[in-house]
Amino acid sequence: MGDDLGVGDGITRRPGKTREPLDTSNPNQAAKIVAAFEQLAVTAVQDWGPQQSIVAAIRRDAAQQRAEDVAEIERNPAYLGGHQYKARYRERSTIAWYVREMDANATMTELALAGGRPWEAISWAMKLAEALTEARLRYDWNRAAEVGKKQLGHSSDGRAVRRLQPAAHRVARVRQLMCEGCTLRSAMKRTAAELGVAISTISRDYYAWKRSKPVD
């Protein structure tokens, strides 16, 4: 993606910024403190506020995807709606789908705001945030797992696939989600969905790991 939004390489990563601590009791820093608050005021009234660079990067990538689609349609009119197009925008399975989804959510947010429907705008903005978070998990943290999943995708034996996927990997994902605030049940459900296994498998792995922990 763009400079501010790196899907597949640290999803929607923010550019690194060096924070300079400001001492409000130091009169020599008064000018910097005033400037900092003035900048906050400017950012607050801009479209998308401090998230402006993220949304701008999403839109740059979405525009690039549309241009690529148009070029492909000109070469091959059957592309639109064909297998290649559907594969590119397979729901929740490709980077392109997430970019298009987030771009649409941003547009609907702005239309709702312009129409005086703030609660609808909030709803669309939440959908954008959900897609953004899901993309980060899927293509950043879970990048290695995705590669493994694709390599095993042609196997007709689902049980063999689960055996090849380490139980420790599934348990680690559950624990990570719990550290991020999920309940155990929701962490298990999300892990099962992400890794393509039954929730009973996740539950068995987790409780087996918990029983194996040494008692203090």
Identify which of 144, 56, 129 has the alpha carbon closest to the alpha carbon of residue 98: 129
Task: Give a yes or no: residue 23 inside a domain.
Answer: no
Claim to verify: residue 192 and residue 123 sit in the same structural domain? no
Residues 181 and 108 in one domain: no
162, 81: one domain: no
> Which pLDDT belongs to residue 216?
47
143, 176, 204 - which closes a domain: 143
Co-location of 111 and 203 in the same domain: no
Give the end of a domain, one of 100, 115, 143. 143
In a domain, 26, yes or no: no
Q: Which residues 6+ apart lie within 8 Å of 9 measured at CB?
A: 140
Domain encompassing residue 134: 1-14+49-143
* d(C-alpha 116, C-alpha 211), whole Å: 55
> pLDDT in tens for each of the 216 residues of the chain?
433 344 433 444 444 455 566 666 777 766 666 665 555 554 555 667 778 888 888 999 999 999 999 999 999 999 988 999 999 999 988 889 999 999 999 999 999 999 999 999 999 999 999 998 888 777 765 554 555 555 555 444 455 444 456 788 888 889 998 888 889 999 999 988 888 888 888 898 888 888 886 654
Compute the chain's Rg from CA coordinates.
22
The pTM of the full predicted model, rounded to 2 decimals, is 0.50
Asked, for residue 24, whether it belongs to a domain, the answer is no
Domain stop point among 81, 109, 143: 143
Tell me if 126 is assigned to some domain.
yes
211 lies in the same domain as 175: yes
The number of domains in the chain is: 2
Please indicate, yes or no, whether residues 79 and 4 belong to a single structural domain of this protein: yes
